[in-house]
């Protein structure tokens, strides 16, 4: 038994042999080849998700780890813009949706249910009504208490006619929605700019090439909006995008090909029509909802005024799937590095093989990394499925996309032991001594 301090290594070592991954189970009558969407196919194939019903999915352990990391990034950036996290019920009384007029606007996409008292509820796709109702309940709200910025990361519902593309267009999905209440339009615009910057920061941390496009206001309503897209052929939005200055606009909002605002300084701005996956949006709502629900406050002169609102969404599960969509090859998943479910996967030798006497070395290496790079302790996996060949397990690890794969093979038994280190992001392989390997481990950043 290998001991680390007083703790038994096996007690905290994360082992692939103990990890639950669903075997590929497709709905009856469908084949992997039928799945056109890469992220959907790869996630099913690697056992990361399992379909529960059309458009709803079980998120399995590896996916949830990646999702929790993404939530960490989002929480940090929301806090920086003054966001306070709350959780509103998934059930919103339909009466609130009828008051705002969105009950009929949404139509059959709105999932509803009735309780035993025959009261109808909507399973909210967004929560403008619910959150405005909270603030409207504050009868003595002062301008000194504003701005109020409330956000949540909860499951949302949309009864899609044709749910498709896995986590990209489901009927139940995880969304971050922020609602802001400011005392003037000027302040609301300031908030709007700061949240758009926060969104850009989130995608920059994830190293994802985000495109911020002038958007349509659509069913949410309001005066101005931006959409955040990851460009991909599977995307369902058409976006004019300038590859030189980055200016972008949703096709729905313009007639003909638009030109960039700095078109005069760069006369040859190449504006191309691309498909985008919308992963975020920002709306300046003005008083559309605060007027309906009487969400007001007292200004400096003790006069009642309506709050100026904004709402800001991020499709959390959709970001994860869209990132896989744009970063992966046809066969292997690649994550934004910080979101990979585990940063390192150590592969032990095959049992009964020539190098089976090196099996203990894999456990020792795991322990050494925990001591020298303790920040990696919970981000490291040991593929101890010794009944499988090393090659098969390297293939698995590469398919799931752990950024670093460390193979403890026969060269680990040499007088000058070396470990095979595969960097899945660059595709490079090198042989490192334990000292060199531990140095590299120390430099790996984790969330
Ligand atoms: Zn341009």
DSSP structural state of residue 307:
P
- Please give the Cα distance from 383 to 371 (Å, whole number): 19
CA–centroid distance, residue 269 to ligand 1 (Å) = 4
CA–centroid distance, residue 241 to ligand 1 (Å) = 8
* Alpha-carbon separation of residue 170 from 52, 124, 277, 423 (angstroms): 11, 14, 13, 33
The CB density around residue 274, as the number of other CB atoms within 10 Å, is 19
DSSP structural state of residue 15:
B
CA–centroid distance, residue 427 to ligand 1 (Å) = 34
Which residues are near ligand 1, the ion (C-beta closer than 5 Å)? 242, 244-245, 247, 260, 269
Look at residue 337 and tell me if it is in a domain. no
Residue 303: is it exposed, middle or buried by C-beta count within 10 angstroms (0-12/13-18/19+)?
exposed
Look at residue 25 and tell me if it is in a domain. no
The reply to whether 248 and 145 lie within a common domain is yes
Phi, psi of 142 (to 5 degrees): -105, 155
CA–centroid distance, residue 191 to ligand 1 (Å) = 26
Contacts of 257 (CB under 8 A, 6+ apart): 240, 271, 273
The reply to whether 184 and 274 lie within a common domain is yes
CA–centroid distance, residue 119 to ligand 1 (Å) = 52
* Alpha-carbon separation of residue 171 from 54, 113, 120 (angstroms): 8, 15, 19
The reply to whether 147 and 224 lie within a common domain is yes
Instruction: Identify whether the C-beta of residue 20 lies closer than 8 Å to the C-beta of residue 48.
Output: no
CA–centroid distance, residue 258 to ligand 1 (Å) = 10
The reply to whether 91 and 237 lie within a common domain is yes
Look at residue 193 and tell me if it is in a domain. yes
The reply to whether 278 and 351 lie within a common domain is no
The reply to whether 187 and 267 lie within a common domain is yes
Q: What is the CB-side half-sphere exposure of residue 119 using CA atoms within 13 A?
A: 7
The continuous run of DSSP H or E covering 248 comes out as strand 248-250
Give the residue from 272, 292, 327 where a domain finishes.
Answer: 327
The reply to whether 293 and 367 lie within a common domain is no
Torsion of CA 38, 40, 44, 45, to 10 degrees: 0
CATH number at residue 231: 3.30.930.10
Look at residue 346 and tell me if it is in a domain. yes
CA–centroid distance, residue 249 to ligand 1 (Å) = 11
The reply to whether 167 and 305 lie within a common domain is yes
List of E strands, 301-342: 304-306, 308-315
Pairing of strands 271-286, 224-231: antiparallel
Handedness of CA 106, 108, 112, 117 (dihedral sign): positive
In the prediction, which pLDDT does 253 show? Answer: 87
CA–centroid distance, residue 245 to ligand 1 (Å) = 4
CA–centroid distance, residue 40 to ligand 1 (Å) = 33
CA–centroid distance, residue 230 to ligand 1 (Å) = 18
Give the residue from 327, 359, 388 where a domain finishes.
Answer: 327
The reply to whether 63 and 174 lie within a common domain is yes
Pairing of strands 3-4, 7-8: antiparallel
Look at residue 241 and tell me if it is in a domain. yes
The reply to whether 232 and 111 lie within a common domain is yes
Give the pLDDT confidence of 297-348 residue by residue, as tens digits: 999 999 999 999 999 999 999 999 999 999 999 999 999 999 999 999 999 9
Q: Which segments of the chain have a pLDDT < 70?
A: 1-11, 25, 27, 217-223, 264-267
CA–centroid distance, residue 414 to ligand 1 (Å) = 58
Phi, psi of 241 (to 5 degrees): -135, 130
- Please give the Cα distance from 218 to 240 (Å, whole number): 18
CA–centroid distance, residue 265 to ligand 1 (Å) = 9
In the prediction, which pLDDT does 221 show? Answer: 53
The reply to whether 314 and 358 lie within a common domain is no
CA–centroid distance, residue 257 to ligand 1 (Å) = 12
CA–centroid distance, residue 282 to ligand 1 (Å) = 22
In the prediction, which pLDDT does 12 show? Answer: 73
CATH number at residue 416: 3.40.50.800
Look at residue 29 and tell me if it is in a domain. no
CA–centroid distance, residue 244 to ligand 1 (Å) = 5
Domain limits for position 355:
3-19+342-442
The reply to whether 115 and 220 lie within a common domain is yes
Look at residue 423 and tell me if it is in a domain. yes
Look at the chain and report how many structural domains it folds into: 2
- Please give the Cα distance from 198 to 194 (Å, whole number): 6
DSSP structural state of residue 20:
-
Give the pLDDT confidence of 175-233 residue by residue, as tens digits: 999 999 999 999 999 999 999 999 999 999 999 999 999 987 655 555 689 999 999 99
The continuous run of DSSP H or E covering 42 comes out as helix 38-45
């Amino acid at each position: 038994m290998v001991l680390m301090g007083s703790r038994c290594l096996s007690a905290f070592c994360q082992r692939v042999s103990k990890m639950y991954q669903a075997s590929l189970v497709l709905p009856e009558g469908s084949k992997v080849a039928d799945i056109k969407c890469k992220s959907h196919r790869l996630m099913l194939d690697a056992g990361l998700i399992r379909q529960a019903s059309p458009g709803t999915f079980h998120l399995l352990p590896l996916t949830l780890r990646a999702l929790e990391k993404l939530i960490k990034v989002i929480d940090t950036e929301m806090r920086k813009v003054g966001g306070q996290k709350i959780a509103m019920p998934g059930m919103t009384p339909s009466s609130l949706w009828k008051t705002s007029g969105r009950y009929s606007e949404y139509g059959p996409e709105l999932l509803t249910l009735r309780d035993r008292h025959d009261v109808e509820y909507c399973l909210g796709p967004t929560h403008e009504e619910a959150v405005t109702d909270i603030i409207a309940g504050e009868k003595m709200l002062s301008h000194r208490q504003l701005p109020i910025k409330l956000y949540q990361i909860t499951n949302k519902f949309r009864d899609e006619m044709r749910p498709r593309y896995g986590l990209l267009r489901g009927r139940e999905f995880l969304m971050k929605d922020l609602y802001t209440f400011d005392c003037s339009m000027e302040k609301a615009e300031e908030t709007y700019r700061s949240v758009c910057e926060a969104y850009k920061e989130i995608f920059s941390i994830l190293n994802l090439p985000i495109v911020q496009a002038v958007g349509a206001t659509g069913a949410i309503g309001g005066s101005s909006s931006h959409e955040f897209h990851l460009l991909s052929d599977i995307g369902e939005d058409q976006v004019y995008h300038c590859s030189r200055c980055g200016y972008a606009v949703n096709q729905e909002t313009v007639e003909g090909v638009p030109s960039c605002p700095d078109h005069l300084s760069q006369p040859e701005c190449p504006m191309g029509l691309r498909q985008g996956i919308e992963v975020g949006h920002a709306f300046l709502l003005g008083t559309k909802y605060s007027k309906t629900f009487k969400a007001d406050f007292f200004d400096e002169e003790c006069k009642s005024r309506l709050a100026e609102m904004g709402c800001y969404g991020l499709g959390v599960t959709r970001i994860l799937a869209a990132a896989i969509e744009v970063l992966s090859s046809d066969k292997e998943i690649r994550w934004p590095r910080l979101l990979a479910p585990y940063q390192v996967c150590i592969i032990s030798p095959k049992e009964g093989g020539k190098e089976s006497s090196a099996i203990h070395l894999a456990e020792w290496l795991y322990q050494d990394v925990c001591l020298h790079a303790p920040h990696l302790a919970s981000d490291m996996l040991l593929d101890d499925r010794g009944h499988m060949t090393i090659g098969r397990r390297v293939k698995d690890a590469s398919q799931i996309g752990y950024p670093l794969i460390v193979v403890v093979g026969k060269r680990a038994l040499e007088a000058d032991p070396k470990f095979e280190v595969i960097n899945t992001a660059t595709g490079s392989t090198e042989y490192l001594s334990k000292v060199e390997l531990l140095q590299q481990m120390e430099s790996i950043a984790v969330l």
